[in-house]
Amino acid sequence: MTIQFGNPDRPNSYIGKTVPRPNAPRLAQGRGRFVDDVVLPRMAHVAFVRSPYAHARIGGIDAAAAKAAKGVLRVFTGADIAEVCTPWVAVLAHLKGLKSPPQHPLAIERATWVGEPVAAVVATSRAAAEEAAALVEVAYEALPVVTDMMSALDETTPVIHPDLGDNLAFRRLHEEGDVEGAFAGAHKVVSARFRTARHTGVTLEPRSILVDWNPAEGQMVAWHATQAPHMMQTVFAKHLDVPESRVRVICADVGGSYGIKVHVYPDEVATAAIAKIMGRPVKFVADRLESFTTDIHARDHVIDARLAVDETGKILAMDVDDWTAIGPYSVYPRTSAIEGNQVVNLCGGPYDFASYRARTTVVFQNKTPTCQYRAVGHPIAVAITEGLVDMAAAELGLDPIEIRRRNLYADDAYPVTSPAKMRFEGLSHHASLNKLLELMDYDALRADQAQARKRGVHRGIGIASFIELTNPSPFMYGIGGARISAQDGCTVRMDPDGSVVALSGVTEQGQGTEAMLAQIVAEGVGVSADKVRVVTGDTQVTPYGGGTWASRGAGIGGEAALQAARALRDAILEVAAAMLQSEPGRLDIRAGAVVDPETGEERLSLEELGRIVYFRGDTLPKGLPRELVQTRHFITSDYPFAFTNGVQASYLEVDVETGVVTLLKHWCVEDCGRIINPQLVDEQIRGGIVQGLGGALYEEIHYDEEGQLLNGSMADYLVPMAAEMPDMVVGHVETPTKESLLGAKGAGEAGTAGAPAAVMNAVNDALRPLGAQITEMPFTPERILRALGTIES
C-alpha cells in the first residue's frame, strides 16, 4: 500500500504539513523536565577535580581537607573508580590504523589535557561538592606539552602516549585518477591554505546526568542529557559490569545537543560508577568552565588544497592535504578520526570530475578531545571546495554561478559514484541553484553590489553548493565494531479509546522529532494527529535504536514509524472486517473511524472497536488476530548513506576600516527529500545556518602554547547573538529517496555545512577588488585587516 503523497486532499494527510509540536507548549510554559530538574530521595552531587596542566604526571592525592568539609560524603580517585569500571579504547576496525590508548573515567597516572577529571568529590549539595573539590590537593609533575598539530609528528616532538610509538592517531590517503597528470596539463591551478578553528557546541543546557543504582533490584537508571540513550545503555552495561537489561537510560528534555551529547564522557561514566559504588542517586551537572574544557571540541583543521581547471572552467582534479589534531584520546565510541575521514569523503562532492587525491592526518595533542559536532567534516570540506571553485572562477573571469553550472553533476546523472567513492542516489544541484538564484534575485543583488561599490561600500555575494550525508547505515560505525545502532524501531499501539501511542528509538532534543513522528503515525494509521502520543528517550520502553545523530530521525525513525503505523492499520482493519463482515481491503480508516473507502461513510469508530477488542473480546471470532500493537524496524540497505544536497548564499558588507563583517541576508535551498513538517525543517535549517555563521565569524577556542584554554567562558568565546544575525530565506527542492516509502532524508545539518563557505566566498567577493583574500576562519576583524594589509601579519 502506498501513500499518494502528491495529493494534498488525501485522507488523513499530515505528512508534508506544518502542524504544531505537541511538546512545545510545555517547554514554553517552563514545564520541561531536564536532568537538573529531577530530584531523587538521598540524591548526592558530584564535582570533579580537574587537571590544571595540559600534561602532568599525577603523584599523591591528598583529600583529607576535602573529606572534612561540610556536606562531603566521599572522595574518589582514578584508582577507586577503576575498581568498578573498565577502560575503553576508541578505535573502529574500518578506519585502518586508527589508534588510541585505553581511557579511564578519571585519569590515573597522567593527566593529558586541562580539564581532564582526576578526582571526584561527592557531597550533599552541588555547592558543597564544588567547594570541597577545591580543597583536594594533587601533586602534579608537569610533563612536556604537545599543542601544535603541524609539528606533532616531528622527531623532536615528545610522544604523548609512548606505548603508541608516535603521535599519529590516523592517516588516510584516497587517490582516484591521474591527479599529477591533470595538474600538469591544467590551464589554471588555484591553491590555498585553509583553516577552520576549534569550536565547541555551547549547548545551553550543560552536560548533565543523574544515575541511581538500586542494589536491591540490581538496576541502574540514568537520567541523561544524551542523544543516544541505547548506546549509553550499552556502554554503562559493558564498562560497569551490569547486564544490559538492567540498565535503563532516560532522556527526557535535552537542552540542545548538536552532536555534543552523543559521546561518552569520562565524568559521566564516573558518575555512574560512583552511583554504583555508593548505592544511591548521584547527579553531575557541568558548569560552564567544565563545558568549555571537557565538552568535545571540533573542526580544528589546517588544509592545503589545490584545484586544476581547463580553459572552460571544467574541474580536472582536486588535491587536498588535511591536518587535524584531536586531543590526547580518540573519543569513545564514535572515534575522533571520523571528522578527518569525512573531509576526505566530502571534498569536491557536488562536482563531476575525475581525478581526486585527499589525505587526512589526525594527530594527538594535549588539548580537549575533539569529536563529532553538527555537520561533521562538512563545513570544512565545503569551505575548501567552494573556496577553490570561486578562486578558479576569479582566475578565469567567470561568474561564480557559471563555473558551478559547468561542473555540478547534472540532475539526470544519477545514480553516480563520485571520485571520493561516495554513491549518490539522486541529487538536484542545478534545480537547487536555479531556485536559489530566483529566491535571492541574483542579478538585482549584483547590481546593488556594484552601486554600493561606487559609494565606497564593500559588499560581497558568496555561493556554496554542498552535499550532506544523512540516514547512515552500519557502514558508518557498525562495521567498525561499535555498538551504535543504525537501525531504528517504532512500536505503535491502539488503546481502548481509539488513541494511538508510538514508541520510538529516535530522540527529541528540540528538533521536533516527536511532532514529526506524530504526523507520520497519524497519517499511517488514519487518526488525527492530536490522537497520537509519542514516547521517546527511555530505553526500558522504546525499541532499540540509534537516537539522534547524522540526521537520521526522519529518514530512519520516521520510516520505521510509518511502517509500524501501516501495520497497525492493517491489524485494525482485520478486526474491523470480522466485526463488519467485510474484507480488510474494502475498508479504510479516516479521522479515527473505520469507513467505506468509496463513500467515506463511517462504519465503526476506533473507540468502539477498542471497546470490543479490549473488554468484549469474547464476542469476536475465536482465533481472530487482535494485536493492536505493531512494531517495525527500518534500516537502509541499498546505499550506505542518503546524501542530500543544497546551496547557500550570503550577502554581506565588509567595513574595510574596521574589518567588521555585517551579514545582510542569507539564503539556503535544500533538498532533503520528502518534507514531513515544513516549518520544522526550515527551522532546523535556520538554526543550522546560524551555527555555521558562528563558525565563519566568531567561534574559536584559543589555547596558549602550554595547552591552557584561554577563553573558557561565554563572555570570551563568541557565538552568534540575535542582533548580529540576518534574516534567512529557506527554499526546497524535493527528491525523495527511493530507499523508503516515506522518502525522507535528513535536514538537521545542512545549514551548518554550507554557511561558512558562503560567508567566506562573500567576504572574498567583497575584498577581491582590493586584492585581499582570507581563508582562515573565523573571519575576525583582525584577520580581515591583516588580509587588507592594514595591520601587519
Partner 1 sequence: MNEIVRDRIDVALTVNGEPVEARVPAGQHLIDFLRLELGLTGAHASCEHGVCGACTVRVNGDAVRGCLMLAAQADGAEVWTVEGLTDTGEIADLQEAFVARNALQCGFCTPGMLVAAQELLAREDAPSRAEIREHLSGNYCRCTGYEAIVDAVETVATARAGKGGA
Q: CB 663 → partner 1: shortest distance, Å?
A: 12
Q: Are 320 and 359 in contact (CB under 8 A)?
A: yes
Tell me the site size for ligand FES, rule CB under 6 A: 3
Q: Does the protein bind ligand FES through residue 510 (CB under 6 A)?
A: yes
Q: Which of 3, 12, 15, 36 binds partner 1 (CB under 8 A)?
A: 36
Q: Are 214 and 186 in contact (CB under 8 A)?
A: no
- x/- letters, 162..201, toward partner 1 (CB under 8 A): ---------------------------------------x
Q: Which of 248, 603, 686, 745 binds partner 1 (CB under 8 A)?
A: 686
Question: How far apart are the C-alpha atoms of 567 and 548, rounded to whole Å?
Answer: 24
Q: CB 285 → partner 1: shortest distance, Å?
A: 8
Q: What is the footprint of partner 1 within residues 450-509 (CB under 8 A)?
A: 509
Q: Does the protein bind partner 1 through residue 728 (CB under 8 A)?
A: yes
Q: Does the protein bind partner 1 through residue 254 (CB under 8 A)?
A: yes
Q: Does the protein bind partner 1 through residue 701 (CB under 8 A)?
A: no
Name which of 30, 113, 131, 114 is nearest 75 in CA terms.
Answer: 131
Instruction: Rounding to the nearest 10 degrees, give the CA dihedral for residues 359, 362, 368, 373.
Output: 40
**Toward ligand FES, which CB reaches closer, 509 or 780?**
509
Query: 482 vs 89, 213, 334, 335, CA distance in Å?
Result: 11, 26, 7, 10
Q: Does the protein bind partner 1 through residue 725 (CB under 8 A)?
A: yes
Question: How far apart are the C-alpha atoms of 43 and 39, rounded to whole Å?
Answer: 7
Q: Which of 11, 71, 256, 781 binds ligand FES (CB under 6 A)?
A: 256
Question: How far apart are the C-alpha atoms of 753 and 299, rounded to whole Å?
Answer: 12
Query: 687 vs 439, 683, 751, CA distance in Å?
Result: 19, 6, 7
Q: Compute φ and ψ for 395, nearest 5 degrees.
A: -60, -40
Query: 283 vs 207, 223, 237, 240, 247, CA distance in Å?
Result: 11, 9, 19, 17, 17
Only segment of 90-98, 182-190, 427-435, 683-691 that touches partner 1 (CB under 8 A): 683-691
Only segment of 17-25, 105-113, 385-393, 560-568 that touches partner 1 (CB under 8 A): 17-25
Residue 216 partner contact from partner 1, ligand FES, none using kind-dependent CB cut-offs of 5 to 8 Å: none
Secondary structure of 354-406 as H, E, C letters: CEEEEEEEEECCCCCCECCCCCCCHHHHHHHHHHHHHHHHHHHCCCHHHHHHH
Only segment of 166-174, 181-189, 329-337, 685-693 that touches partner 1 (CB under 8 A): 685-693
* H or E segment and range at residue 254: none
Question: How far apart are the C-alpha atoms of 81 and 120, rounded to whole Å?
Answer: 9
Q: Cα–Cα–Cα angle for 355, 775, 334, nearest 5°?
A: 70
Q: CB 203 → ligand FES: shortest distance, Å?
A: 8
Residue 200 partner contact from ligand FES, partner 1, none using kind-dependent CB cut-offs of 5 to 8 Å: none
Name which of 600, 575, 577, 580 is nearest 590 in CA terms.
Answer: 600
Q: CB 24 → partner 1: shortest distance, Å?
A: 4
**Toward ligand FES, which CB reaches closer, 80 or 205?**
205
Q: Which of 1, 28, 204, 722 binds ligand FES (CB under 6 A)?
A: 204
Q: CB 769 → ligand FES: shortest distance, Å?
A: 39
Name which of 486, 464, 548 is nearest 512 in CA terms.
Answer: 548
**Toward ligand FES, which CB reaches closer, 510 or 743?**
510
Hey, how many other C-beta atoms are within 10 angstroms of the C-beta on 528?
A: 17
Question: How far apart are the C-alpha atoms of 169 and 682, rounded to whole Å?
Answer: 38
Q: Are 535 and 23 in contact (CB under 8 A)?
A: no
* H or E segment and range at residue 189: strand 188-196
**Toward ligand FES, which CB reaches closer, 478 or 510?**
510
Residue 34 partner contact from ligand FES, partner 1, none using kind-dependent CB cut-offs of 5 to 8 Å: partner 1
Q: CB 699 → partner 1: shortest distance, Å?
A: 11
Estimate to the nearest angstrom the gap between the alpha carbon of 242 and the chain centroid: 29
Q: Which three cell numbers stand for residue 702?
A: 584559543
Query: 170 vs 101, 242, 359, 361, 751, CA distance in Å?
Result: 13, 32, 11, 6, 28
* H or E segment and range at residue 138: strand 137-142
Residue 201 partner contact from partner 1, ligand FES, none using kind-dependent CB cut-offs of 5 to 8 Å: partner 1
Q: CB 291 → ligand FES: shortest distance, Å?
A: 12
**Toward partner 1, which CB reaches closer, 257 or 449?**
257
Q: Does the protein bind partner 1 through residue 202 (CB under 8 A)?
A: yes
Q: Does the protein bind partner 1 through residue 256 (CB under 8 A)?
A: yes
Question: How far apart are the C-alpha atoms of 229 and 250, rounded to whole Å?
Answer: 7
Q: Which of 369, 512, 673, 756 binds partner 1 (CB under 8 A)?
A: 512
Q: CB 285 → ligand FES: shortest distance, Å?
A: 12
**Toward partner 1, which CB reaches closer, 70 or 453?**
70
Q: Does the protein bind partner 1 through residue 127 (CB under 8 A)?
A: yes
Q: Are 543 and 488 in contact (CB under 8 A)?
A: yes
Q: In the chain, what is the straight-line distance between the N-terminal and C-terminal CA atoms, in Å?
A: 66
Q: CB 256 → ligand FES: shortest distance, Å?
A: 5
Q: Does the protein bind ligand FES through residue 259 (CB under 6 A)?
A: no
- The burial of 66, by beta-carbon neighbours within 10 Å (0-12 exposed, 13-18 middle, 19 or more buried), is given as buried
Question: How far apart are the C-alpha atoms of 299 and 316, rounded to whole Å?
Answer: 28
Question: How far apart are the C-alpha atoms of 402 and 429, rounded to whole Å?
Answer: 13
Q: CB 387 → partner 1: shortest distance, Å?
A: 24
Residue 24 partner contact from partner 1, ligand FES, none using kind-dependent CB cut-offs of 5 to 8 Å: partner 1
Q: Does the protein bind partner 1 through residue 727 (CB under 8 A)?
A: yes
355: left (phi over 0), alpha (psi -120 to 50) or beta: beta
**Toward ligand FES, which CB reaches closer, 340 or 510?**
510
**Toward partner 1, which CB reaches closer, 601 or 727?**
727
Residue 725 partner contact from ligand FES, partner 1, none using kind-dependent CB cut-offs of 5 to 8 Å: partner 1
199-200 and 297-298 strand pairing = antiparallel
Only segment of 35-43, 108-116, 550-558, 626-634 that touches partner 1 (CB under 8 A): 35-43
Q: Does the protein bind partner 1 through residue 37 (CB under 8 A)?
A: yes
Q: Does the protein bind partner 1 through residue 287 (CB under 8 A)?
A: yes
Q: Does the protein bind partner 1 through residue 68 (CB under 8 A)?
A: no
Q: CB 683 → ligand FES: shortest distance, Å?
A: 10
Name which of 466, 399, 527, 431 is nearest 747 in CA terms.
Answer: 466
Q: Which of 13, 679, 708, 773 binds partner 1 (CB under 8 A)?
A: 679
Q: CB 689 → partner 1: shortest distance, Å?
A: 6
Q: CB 240 → ligand FES: shortest distance, Å?
A: 31
Q: Is 340 helix (H, G, I), strand (E, B) or coil?
A: helix
**Toward partner 1, which CB reaches closer, 710 or 721?**
721
380-394 CB burial, b ≥16 within 10 A, e <16 = bbbbbbbbbbbbbbb
Q: CB 675 → ligand FES: shortest distance, Å?
A: 21
Residue 101 partner contact from ligand FES, partner 1, none using kind-dependent CB cut-offs of 5 to 8 Å: none
Q: Does the protein bind partner 1 through residue 627 (CB under 8 A)?
A: no
List of residues contacting ligand FES (CB under 6 A): 204, 256, 510
List of residues contacting partner 1 (CB under 8 A): 20-21, 23-34, 36-37, 39, 127, 201-206, 253-258, 287-288, 509-512, 679-680, 683, 686-691, 713-715, 719-725, 727-728, 751
